[in-house]
Chain A
Amino acid sequence: DTEVTQTPKHLVMGMTNKKSLKCEQHMGHRAMYWYKQKAKKPPELMFVYSYEKLSINESVPSRFSPECPNSSLLNLHLHALQPEDSALYLCASSQSAQGASSDTQYFGPGTRLTVL
């Protein structure tokens, strides 16, 4: 089973709201990722968790706050977002973050976020 699940599928929020995106995988993967994808652009890496520790933060604004409660779960907490943050937010997981050929990343279906 190579499934990564994400909830919700769609989210509309105002600029003053606080919301969370959730991601789950049961493949025993030890690396999990958050990406942001705008229309007609490739995914852009936001955060990498390796063995439940944040290992990469790609200079993401503090209004995005990741959390990894355990090895299967990854959350992205959102607060005071801007309309330009509207995008598809993708979660992915891989066996490890070492970058070997075996560390294929599997993506969830994404959360389509609209900030009004």
Chain B
Amino acid sequence: RKEVEQDPGPFNVPEGATVAFNCTYSNSASQSFFWYRQDCRKEPKLLMSVYSSGNEDGRFTAQLNRASQYISLLIRDSKLSDSATYLCVVNIISSGSARQLTFGSGTQLTVLP
């Protein structure tokens, strides 16, 4: 089983649609969670950190359910510029107390005019 699993996608949605991405993680000791977006042939960029109480940034809402080990990202009123690959990222314990980020395989979103 992969340590971080995401919706396989791709998602093709019309402009203005609401789209939700889901992600599950296997290591219950994980402590911090992030959504990154990556445009084609560019580096990943932090979209938002995900907090236990849930958090919102404009049209983006992230939720974390520690009991179910589940993370979600909701995008409202999709824009063409939201087209990208969305990466669910979790920190896990590597060796000793060292932690490292583990990336999900990413979900590709295309917003259509």
What is the chain A residue whose CB lies nearest that of B45?
Answer: A107
A106–B31 CB distance below 8 A: no
Residue from the list B32, B91, B95, B105 in contact with A56, Cβ < 8 A: B95
A42–B99 CB distance below 8 A: no
A101–B101 CB distance below 8 A: no
Is A43 an interface position by the 8 A CB rule? yes
Given A42-B87, A56-B94, A107-B44, does the pair A98, B99 have CB atoms closer than 8 Å? yes
Contact string against A for B residues 89-113, beta-carbon threshold 8 Å, 1 for contact and 0 otherwise: 0010111011111011110000000
Is A105 an interface position by the 8 A CB rule? yes
Interfacial residues, chain A to chain B (CB-CB below 8 A): 41-43, 45, 48, 50, 55-56, 88, 90, 97-101, 103-110, 112
Interfacial residues, chain B to chain A (CB-CB below 8 A): 31-32, 34, 41-46, 49, 51, 87, 91, 93-95, 97-101, 103-106
Chain A to chain B: the 7 pairs with minimum beta-carbon distance, closest first: A99-B99, A42-B103, A99-B91, A107-B43, A101-B32, A101-B49, A55-B98
